[in-house]
Copies of this chain bind each other. A is one copy, B any other.
């Protein structure tokens, strides 16, 4: 990956494993991190993680509420822990966790913020494991959305999604090299104090550490 020494990027930072790794990975290029509070079951825990990582790296951090999503959109991810299906990440029932066009909305807001601040890139930590379930994580979407952002801004803002074609295990390996404290990232879609260990994202998280050959620091309820 090419090295860019200007701090000309804003990152969409959830506080999960993927985006926290990207934050550390590209910290020299990131001027601003933005986390969205859309009322998901796990939002509060994610936001707290995002805040701590930004503070540790000295990166400015904004939390932007998108309350209309919980009010008007349909998704099990915003309907309480009981609504979250258990089982592996690639099962059909994980479709219920899709928040319609969530990445489109977050990228658009980040794009407007970038244009307002004179920044030229929006970083997103989507990866290849997301493609099956989430249409707004796929390479096609990223390319088209980047084109729309470029066409719709004076500054020609584009998307930088360096993990699009790699796996979550690759991300964990990269983060381990960088010394990312994964105990301070949160993934579980149920949003409990401990990771439930049974929902699709917990399964995916466990598998990524296993596949990467890295010790998983997470405490799961199932253990």
Taking a contact as CB atoms under 8 Å apart, the answer to whether A105 and B100 are in contact is: no
Taking a contact as CB atoms under 8 Å apart, the answer to whether A100 and B112 are in contact is: yes
Question: Which residue of chain B is the closest to A67 with respect to CB atoms?
Answer: B65
What chain B residues lie within 8 Å of A148 (beta carbons)?
A: 104, 141, 144-145, 147-148
Q: A218 CB to closest chain B CB, in angstroms?
A: 30
Enumerate A87-118 residues with CB–CB distance to B below 8 Å.
98-105, 107-109, 111-116
What chain B residues lie within 8 Å of A167 (beta carbons)?
A: none
Taking a contact as CB atoms under 8 Å apart, the answer to whether A73 and B105 are in contact is: no
Q: A75 CB to closest chain B CB, in angstroms?
A: 8
Taking a contact as CB atoms under 8 Å apart, the answer to whether B144 and A73 are in contact is: no
Taking a contact as CB atoms under 8 Å apart, the answer to whether B105 and A112 are in contact is: yes
Enumerate A107-152 residues with CB–CB distance to B below 8 Å.
107-109, 111-116, 135-136, 138, 140-141, 144-145, 147-152
Interface string of A50-83 (1 = CB under 8 A from B): 0000000000001011011100111000000000
